[in-house]
Every structure is written in C-alpha cells, then in structure tokens.
Amino acid sequence: MIHLVAKEVLRQYQCKSFIETGTFEGDTLALVESWMPELPHLKSLYGVDLWDKAIEMTQKRVKHTQLFEDNSVNWLKTFVPQMESPAFYFLDAHTFGWLPAEQQEISNSYSPNNQLYIQELEILMKSSGPFVICIDDWNAEYNLSQSKHLIDHVWVTTSNSPTVCDINGNVRGIGRPSCYFVKGLDETILRDLELQREE
C-alpha cells in the first residue's frame, strides 16, 4: 500500500494523474481519492489489475477512478501516451503470493521470474514524461541491481516508519520501503522530503 509521503509528493509535483498497477482490494486508490480535496491538480485516477475479483473489490470502494482489467504491461503500452503530465505511477503489481493459483499463473505467463516491474519501467522510461514513479515493496539490493540499465539511483522511504495507513489513518501494517524517482522534474523535492538516496 502507498505511504503517506506520496501525498506530499503528489502535492509538490502538482501531479495531474495517478496510475496504480495492481489494485488488489483498492486500499491505495481509496486513500488517494480521499486526498483529492487537498490536491487540486489531481484530476484523473486509473487502476489496472489482471484479476477480475480485484477490479470488482476496488470498484466498490472508489468513485473517481477508471478501472481496467488487464495485464499492466499491455495497459501501460496503450495508455501511457494519453496520461496527463506530470503523472504519478504507483507500480505494485509485482508482488507474488497475493493471488489464487490460476491468476498467479496468468501473471507469471506475462512476466516470468517476477520481472513485471522491469517491463513496466521499460515502457515508462521510453515515454517523454514528466513523471514520478513509485515502486512499492522495494528491495534495493535486489531491485536496483536488476534495473540499473533503466535507473541509476532512487529515493527510498525509511523501512520501518509507521506510514502505511488505511483510509481512516489507521496504521495497517509495518511499513516497507517504497522507492521514488522522477523524469523531467526537480528531484531535490524528493531529497527535501527526507527520503534516502540509494545508488
């Protein structure tokens, strides 16, 4: 789930669109929708998940988000050129262990070896931006070495800060780091938000 620092990132970069890959039950989209009154630039929200049940569950919780049942890589290829900039991409479709076996097999067939976020990044990095990318559940040692050809450093949330909250502000779990990086935007904003730089 998204960290509260994302609200500040959205605000400071004046993002106009928010895109989540992997919606699951819609926790993140419901939370981001609840921030909209304080984020006047944020006009368009999109969520994509390949599992029909995830889309059904999310649909019950959101009002302002356009939802799509699709593989995130296919979806991004089609829709990235249409996103209003600056866009904020929250990549969270990469986690194993969330899906019934059948859906996991479908996801694996699109992206063996859990490389979905690399395929997503390849599409996004070819686009002109400007944009912010946030990748959830970041493991620097593993993920940064795999994505070195696409990104050379990232800004990371502290791993144990209790910032993973549900829509009512209740802490739902132990925070795991997210990484952030930007294209075509001033990255000192990420530094000033006291995220840690990792190379």
Ligand X SMILES: C[S@@+](CC[C@H](N)C(=O)[O-])C[C@H]1O[C@@H](n2cnc3c(N)ncnc32)[C@H](O)[C@@H]1O
Judged by CB under 6 A, the stretch of 87-95, 142-150, 156-164, 168-176 that binds ligand X is 87-95
Q: Please, what is the end-to-end C-alpha distance for the chain in angstroms?
A: 24
Q: Does 95 bind ligand X (CB under 6 A)?
A: yes
* Least separation in angstroms between CB 152 and ligand X: 26
Residue 36 Cα distances to 39, 46, 103, 155, 176, angstroms: 5, 14, 32, 24, 24
**1-60 positions binding ligand X, by CB under 6 A:** 1-2, 20-24, 27-28, 48-51, 54
How far is 79 from 55, CA to CA, in rounded Å?
Answer: 18
Tokens of 5: 């620092």
Q: Does 110 bind ligand X (CB under 6 A)?
A: yes
105 contacts 51 by C-beta, under 8 angstroms:
no
Q: Which is nearer to ligand X, 40 or 101 (CB)?
A: 101
* Least separation in angstroms between CB 104 and ligand X: 8
In single-letter form, the type of residue at position 161 comes to S
- With CA atoms as reference, report the closest residue to 174 among 185, 161, 184, 192: 161
H-helix or E-strand spanning residue 135: strand 131-135
Q: Does 190 bind ligand X (CB under 6 A)?
A: no
Among positions 19, 92, 132, 189, the unique one binding ligand X when judged by CB under 6 A: 92
Tokens of 157: 């949330």
Q: Which is nearer to ligand X, 35 or 98 (CB)?
A: 98
* Least separation in angstroms between CB 3 and ligand X: 10
Q: Which is nearer to ligand X, 25 or 198 (CB)?
A: 25
Interface residue list for ligand X (CB under 6 A): 1-2, 20-24, 27-28, 48-51, 54, 71-72, 92-93, 95, 98-99, 103, 107, 110-111, 116
